[in-house]
Every structure is written in structure tokens, then in C-alpha cells.
Amino acid sequence: MELDFLATVLLSSLSSASILLIATLGLAVVYGLMGVINLAHGEFLMVGAYSALTATQIGLPYPLAIPFAVAMTMLIGATVELLIIRKLYGRIFDTMLATWGLGMVFNQAAVLIFGTVSPGIGMPQWNFQIGDYSLAFYPIAMIFVAAVMLAFVYFLMTHTVYGMKARASIQEPQMAQAIGIDSSRVNTMTFAIGCGLAGFAGAILLPIIPATPSMGLFFAVKGFLTVVVAGPVALTGSAITALGLGGGASVTASFMTSVVGDVFFFLMTALLLWLYPLGISANWRRKL
Amino acid sequence: MKNLLGTVSLVSAMTLTSTAALAEVKVGAIFDLTGGLNIYGIQQDNALDLAIASVNAAGGVNGEEVVVVGYDAQSELSKYTQFAQTAVLRDGIAAMFAGLTSSSREAIRPIFREANIPYFYSSLYEGGACDKQTFVTGSSASQQLSVLMEWAVENYGPRIYIMAPDYNFGTISGHWVHEYAKQLGAEVVGEDYLALSVTDYAPTIQKIQASNPDLVVALPVGAAQTGFLEQFAAAGLKDSIGVVSTNYGSGNQQVVVSPQAGEGLVSAMGYFPSVESDANAEFLAAWEEAYGTDTPVVAGAVDVWNAVHLWAAAANKAGTTDADEVIAALESGLTFEAPNGTVTLEPGSHHLRQDIYIARGDANNGFEIIATFEDSEPTYENEVCNLIDNPDAAEHFTPEG
């Protein structure tokens, strides 16, 4: 095996893992800090993608379309939390069912608003050469984006007042309330942030994955499994799981076939859940 | 919106039945109006409504008005069988127009066979369906690939890489690529069959570069696989490696893909909106009046249009909508001046002899037709399936090995 092939496999597998992490982080935050599995996460991603697409269509440059998408999805996320999620605290299966249904509603709403095909925005046609292999620049840049995103969420949770309140609300809910933290407001914020992260993912991945009403489904399964395998330590756990499962699947796909890559992903998931039923991070001392 | 229209047509169908002032013929329709497959289903259903309206405007079938009983299969297989049963048992339909995926066709084909109702399947597909009651108006994989591969090898070179979805449409199409490559003295240097949910094509793109092909036969199905074309172009490979397809454009992928990625991609199908003929101009004018110009018409819509007109012609010829006589009329070598050229229903195989067009993506998310192969035969289906000599055949033929 030539060195240049190995180098491209390494880089693009890292980029695959990063794309998975970008798409999953919002789900991980909501699950880790609220104990809510948001099955409409993929649809929030789709809403982000369409928001960014619409923004570029009305003339906003793409870099400005991304914050627009984040703002839209946060707003919708906060509304959903107030109207639906709030009523279902502690009922994890009911929440899953409600968000699953919500996802269907979003999906069909997108069909009605945008139709079934929308023009893509295309990927920057930059590429670079490693030996005999040429690689597109944009997907590789996602490695950097994922790192920044992870650092941002870590900072938000550890170095801001909101972050401390959010962690307090989930770790010691009664104590948090006793010292005057309005945990329901904190939860609304957390859910909105989770949705905003999904919106960011949809917008930043738009050049790679074109906006379609059903795009949420592509990430629903793998994102969900990543979060479940990661377990209670949402951030570090998800990052490591995305790297291991997503990256591993991509390496496998490069040397064998994409189908074997998928088999690797799901077999590893099953194996890890068998070894760590509560997720790989169940016994970690870290909290984030 | 389409749901509403569906309901309205259902309701109007019911009111018409209850008043029963006019003699009428009911036909069934099951398409995916919602869910992931509706990029095809909505247009198929629109084409059906348009075709029925045009048949009725021309005096209906044997002087009777044709009424549609429509269902939305919601991109779910189980809904197909459920609605097919309902249509047969309750609605009393004279013909059925339904289905997009091969699995949906195979799920409901036995129901119409059992009920002896002509069933029209209108989508490009991997080929090989053979059943007395089933009529296929889309093109088959061998029909498209036979002309495309010859063109592609001549224009790009003999080293071929296959990128296809990992189910029967992809694998059978892959088989035909191997077969034609052998006949043309070309070589398949690599292949990758991908799940429909794959969004990351970096591994495929590396393997393509590692095997150094002259052309890639890309058969992306669904929204996620459209991303392959974008990623392939962004890696800078489009200029050195040709990309040909038998389904690029069938779901208006050329609109989704950016112009940079879509320009120069080659597709071979039974219809492109840029076909130049009077029949197509008329058809497009009627379509645009009814549905506007937002999305280009896909091949599957024209396949439905042709199916309805062939059925109506057969029923008029037979002078009745009785299934046996209509099927006999359909097997009489019917031709129809379709938007995509003259089409002929092959009596033996129940497939269409039709023009196959090779088109190249232009810089404005459209297609420019670069070659027309008139009156292309469904070779494989004609070879394996003869329902005149063998009317009891009910098979889905797949090529050996």
C-alpha cells in the first residue's frame, strides 16, 4: 500500500468522523444535559440547511447564512421546548415519540414550502494533491470546524454562567432549584442550543449534503447510535465515539466496500453496547 | 397541497359514483405523494391527472368519462399492498397505474394478476418484469445501458468504474455494465455498491482514483447519493474522468447539483424535457399550464402519461374495458405519439420500444441532448419474456451471474 493512499485515507476518515461529530453534537448536548433524546434532531439539521439555502437565495453571502440558520433553529427549538418537551420531562419514551412525530411534521412542511427539489449551493471547487490522489478541500476543512465546535461547546458549558446552571440543573436538580436556578428556563436554553447546533451542522454541511426534506434521516440513525454509545459524558464521549465509529467505518470502506464500512459501524455499536450497556463513558469521572 | 388534490379527486370520484348520472370508468393510482420518494411520486401523479384530463377531453374511453381513484403510498411498501387491495376489492377499477421502486411493483404485481386487472408500471428500472397483467412504460437498464456504454467507451475510453446503489437496480445495472464492457472490449476496473444512506463519498472517490478509470458509471439513487457527484467534482476529478449515468436527472438531480458539478455529466434516459418534437411541445405546454415551470418534467412523469394513453387507446380499440380484451388490444402492437418520440408496446414482453436519448448537463442546471437512439428495443426483456407464447409466465427475470 502506497504512502499517499494511506495519507488520503487517514485524512478523509478524520473528515468523515468530523462530519458525523458535527451532525451529532447538538443531539449529544440535549441528551447529556437534559436526558432528552430529540428524534427530530435530523429535521432540525434539515431546517438549518434550508434556512441557509434560503438566506443565500435572497442574496446573503454564505458565511452570513450560517448564523442566520443557527438563529432560526434556536428560535424554533425554544418554541418546541416550551410547547412540547416541557410537558414531557422525565418521560423519555414519550419524548422520543413526540419528537419523532415532530420530525415527520417538519419533513412534510419542508415539502410543502420548498417542494421536493431545491438547487444546491455547490462546494468550493478547491482541491489539493497528495501524491497521486486529489482531495476536495471543503470536507477536509470539516476537521477544523468540528474541533472549533467542540471547543466552543466545552467553553460554553464550563466557563459561562449558563453552562454552570445547566450542569447544576442536570447533576443536582433539587439543589439547583433550591439556590434559585430556574431550571425550566435553563432547559429551554439548552434545548435551543442543541437545535442551534443542529442548524449549524445543516448549514455548514450544505455544500456537501444538499438540502432535501428527508435529509434528516441520513443522520438520524448514526447520530442516535453515536450518542447512545457515548453515554452520559456527552461531549468527550461523543467526540471519541464519532472518531472511533465514524472514522473506523470510513477506513474500512476505503480498504473494502462501503457496505462493509456500515457493517463495521453497526457491529462495533452492538459490541460496545454489550460491553458498556450505559455507554462507554458510564464510569468516567469527567462530567462533560 | 397534493394531498388535498388527492382527497378532492377522491371525493369527487365518490360524488360522481353516488349520483351516477354519467357512465364512467374508474382507474386506480398509487404513487408516493409524501415521504422520501415523492421527488418522483408527485410528478407521476401530476402526469396521471393531466393524461386522464386529456383522455377525457378527447371523448373519454368508449364515450365514458375516466375517473381516478388516487392513493398516497407515503413511500412505504406496506401502503402499496394495502391500497392495491382496497382498489381491487372496493373501487372496482378497470386499470391501475402505480409504483416507483421495483420493490413496490413486485409487492403489488401479484394482486393485479390475481384480480386480472391491467397494471401499468411507469419508471425506469433494472428490467426483467414479465407478467400477463403488467405493462412497463419506463425504460429498462439494458435498454439504456446498451446505447450508453457504446457511446461512453467510444468517447472516454475502455476503463470503467461502477458506482451504484446496493440493491437490485444497482447490482443488475452493474451486471449489464460488465456485459456490455465485455462486448465492447472494455474493462471494469473497479466497482462500489453503496447503501442509500451513505453521505460521505471520500472512500469511493479514493478507490476511483486508485483504479484510474476513463469513466465512472454513476447511478446515484436518492438525495444522499446525489452528494457523490458534488464531492467527485470538488475533488477535481470531473475534467479527467467522464461520468455517465442511466438515472441522473430522473429525479431532477441536475437541479440539486450545483452547475459546476453538473456541467458535462452525461445521462441516457427515455425522456428529457429538451426533446424537440411537436408532441413534446404540446405536452410541456399543457404541463406548464397545470403545474407551472418550477421543476422540470422527469422521465417517470412522461412514462405515466404514455401508460394512460396506451391504456385508453387499447380500451377504445377493444370497445370495452374488460380486462382480457384490453390486454389483447395492448398486445396488438400499439403505438403512441409520445412526448419522447413514437413508442411501441412490444406484444411479447409488455415493455416499450422507445427512443433513448443521451444528454449532457449544461451550465444552467439543464440538459442538452447530444445523441438520439431511435426506437431502441428492450432487448433483454424481449429475449427472456414472451407473454404471447407463454401467457402464464409470472416472473422477474434477472440476468445470470
Q: What is the pLDDT of residue B351?
A: 95
Q: What is the pLDDT of residue B343?
A: 95
d(CA B222, CA B251): 8
Q: Which is higher by pLDDT, B179 or A214?
A: B179
> CATH: 3.30.470.10, 3.40.50.2300, 3.40.390.30, 3.40.50.970. Which one for B2-139+274-350+385-396?
3.40.50.2300
Q: What is the pLDDT of residues B288-318, one digit of tens each?
A: 999 988 889 999 999 999 999 999 999 999 9
Q: Does the beta carbon of A57 lie under 8 angstroms from any beta carbon of chain B?
A: no
Q: What is the pLDDT of residue B251?
A: 84
Q: What is the pLDDT of residue B3?
A: 52
Q: Does the beta carbon of A188 lie under 8 angstroms from any beta carbon of chain B?
A: no
| Residue A285 grid cell | 469521572
Which residue from B minimizes the CA distance to A113?
B1
Contact at 8 Å (CB) between B124 and B270? yes
Contact at 8 Å (CB) between A192 and A78? yes
Which of A65, A51, A189, A59 lies closest to A109 in space, CA to CA? Answer: A51
Task: Tell which of A116, A212, A221, A264 to mutate to test the B interface (max B CBs under 10 Å).
Answer: A116
Closest residue to B194, CB basis, from A8, A133, A258: A258
Which of B187, B174, B177, B246 lies closest to B214 in space, CA to CA? Answer: B187
Q: What is the pLDDT of residue B1?
A: 45
d(CA A117, CA B128): 30
- Between vectors from CA A264 to CA A261 and to CA A266, what angle results, nearest 5°? 115
**Contact B230/A217, CB-based, under 8 Å?**
no
d(CA B117, CA B369): 37
Q: What is the pLDDT of residues B76-106, one digit of tens each?
A: 889 999 999 999 999 999 999 999 988 899 9
pLDDT for B36 beyond 90: no
**Contact A210/B365, CB-based, under 8 Å?**
no
Least confident of A129-133, A266-270, B104-108, B203-207: A129-133
What letter does residue A86 receive in the DSSP assignment? G
Percent of chain B with pLDDT over 70: 94
- Mean pLDDT within B368-383: 92
Q: What is the pLDDT of residue B14?
A: 47
Q: What is the pLDDT of residue B52?
A: 96
Domain covering B142-269 in this structure, CATH number: 3.40.50.2300
Closest residue to A16, CB basis, from B38, B202, B236: B202
**Contact A120/B42, CB-based, under 8 Å?**
no
Q: What is the pLDDT of residue B57?
A: 95
Q: What is the pLDDT of residue B401?
A: 58
Q: Does the beta carbon of B258 lie under 8 angstroms from any beta carbon of chain A?
A: yes
Contact at 8 Å (CB) between B44 and B100? yes
| Residue B165 grid cell | 446503489
**Contact A134/B203, CB-based, under 8 Å?**
no
Residue B89 CB partners (closer than 8 Å, separation 6+): none
- The chain-wide mean pLDDT, for chain A, equals 89
**Contact A254/B39, CB-based, under 8 Å?**
no
Which residue from B minimizes the CA distance to A249?
B203
Q: Does the beta carbon of B207 lie under 8 angstroms from any beta carbon of chain A?
A: yes
Q: What is the pLDDT of residue B18?
A: 45
d(CA B48, CA B120): 11
Label residue A130 by pLDDT band (50, 70, 90): confident
pLDDT for A272 beyond 90: yes
Q: Does the beta carbon of B5 lie under 8 angstroms from any beta carbon of chain A?
A: no
CA distance, residue B276 to nearest chain A CA (Å)? 25
- Mean pLDDT within B173-201: 90
Label residue A268 by pLDDT band (50, 70, 90): very high
**Contact A214/B36, CB-based, under 8 Å?**
yes
d(CA A15, CA A140): 5
CA distance, residue A198 to nearest chain B CA (Å)? 16
Residues of A in contact with B193 (CB under 8 A): 257-259
Residues of B in contact with A219 (CB under 8 A): 199
- Mean pLDDT within A151-175: 88
Q: At what angle do helices A137-159 and B222-234 cross, to 10 degrees?
A: 110
Closest residue to B235, CB basis, from A118, A127, A218: A127
Residues of A in contact with B256 (CB under 8 A): 117-120, 210, 212
- Mean pLDDT within B259-281: 92
Q: Which is higher by pLDDT, B39 or B146?
A: B146
Closest residue to A209, CB basis, from B209, B227, B233: B227
**Contact B193/A257, CB-based, under 8 Å?**
yes
Q: Is B236 left (phi over 0), alpha (psi -120 to 50) or beta?
A: left
Q: What is the pLDDT of residues A6-60, one digit of tens each?
A: 888 899 899 989 999 999 999 999 888 888 888 999 999 999 999 999 999 898 9
Contact at 8 Å (CB) between B174 and B191? yes
Which residue from B minimizes the CA distance to A213?
B36
Q: What is the pLDDT of residue A124?
A: 82
CA distance, residue A180 to nearest chain B CA (Å)? 45
Percent of chain A with pLDDT over 70: 100
- The chain-wide mean pLDDT, for chain B, equals 89
pLDDT for A235 beyond 90: no
- Mean pLDDT within A156-160: 90
Which residue from A minimizes the CA distance to B232?
A136
pLDDT for B11 beyond 50: no
pLDDT for B180 beyond 60: yes
Which residue from B minimizes the CA distance to A16?
B200
Of chain B residues 158-187, which have a CB less than 8 A from chain A?
166
Q: Where are the domains of chain A?
A: 3-220
- Mean pLDDT within A199-212: 90
pLDDT for B21 beyond 70: no
- Mean pLDDT within B35-57: 91
| Residue A77 grid cell | 427549538
Q: Which amino acid is at A141?
A: A
Q: Where are the domains of chain B?
A: 2-139+274-350+385-396, 142-269
Least confident of A188-197, B31-40, B134-143, B173-182: B31-40
Phi, psi (rounded to 5 degrees) for B160: -115, 135
Q: What is the pLDDT of residue B222?
A: 74
pLDDT for A79 beyond 90: yes
Q: Does the beta carbon of B200 lie under 8 angstroms from any beta carbon of chain A?
A: yes
Percent of chain B with pLDDT over 90: 69
What does the DSSP assignment read for B379-395? HHHHHH--TTT-TT-EE
